[in-house]
């Protein structure tokens, strides 16, 4: 259980394009879990860890960039599944680099076992690390890793 000796952390979770279709979209790749259930799982885990958590999804690159910019002085960490923008968006990469907020990149599928174009992440160079291939648990693992790094510097 969360110890009160730790400071309360605020974490932003960003979901990119087409993740609003989870549960319907390519169930052989993403399973039957919905975005609402992932957000619920993360919110419950955040409570255990003593964190505040805000989740946001957008299919629009500029909205995600604005959310990253707006996170300054509001969040201590970001978890991002940029969806297809992972492989194409210099704008999201530059936004993450500009705010310098510790960020974990997550993917439900193992992007390295999929199409070749998914093997490259534009944002990997500006995030702490990447977790992929564990379905909805990728988000949970990302949250635990981020909180550990923010609190313990590991």
The single residue of 15, 75, 85, 107 carrying the catalytic annotation is: 107
Is 69 tagged catalytic?
Answer: no
The single residue of 30, 75, 85, 139 carrying the catalytic annotation is: 30
> Using N-to-C axis directions, what is the helix angle for 90-99 and 61-70, rounded to 10°?
0
CA distance to 41, 80, 107, 154, per residue, from 95 (Å): 27, 12, 19, 24
Please tell me whether residue 4 adopts helix, strand or coil conformation.
coil
Strand partners, 78: 12, 103
Is 139 tagged catalytic?
Answer: no
Instruction: Write down the H helix ranges in the chain.
Output: 27-30, 35-49, 61-70, 90-99, 137-152
The residues annotated with a catalytic role in the active site are: 30, 107
């Amino acid at each position: 259980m969360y110890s009160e000796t730790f400071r309360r952390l605020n974490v932003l979770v960003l979901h990119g394009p087409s993740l609003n279709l989870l549960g319907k979209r390519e169930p052989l790749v993403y399973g039957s879990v919905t975005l609402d259930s992932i957000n619920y799982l993360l919110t419950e885990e955040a409570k255990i860890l003593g964190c505040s958590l805000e989740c946001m999804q957008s299919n629009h690159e500029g909205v995600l960039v604005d959310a990253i910019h707006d996170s300054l002085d509001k969040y201590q960490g970001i978890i991002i599944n940029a969806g297809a923008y992972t492989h194409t968006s210099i704008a999201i990469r530059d936004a993450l680099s500009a705010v310098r907020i510790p960020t974990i990149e997550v993917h439900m599928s193992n992007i390295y076992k999929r199409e070749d174009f998914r093997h490259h992440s534009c944002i990997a160079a500006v995030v702490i690390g990447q977790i992929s291939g564990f379905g909805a648990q990728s988000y949970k693992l990302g949250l635990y890793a981020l909180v550990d790094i923010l609190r313990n510097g590991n």
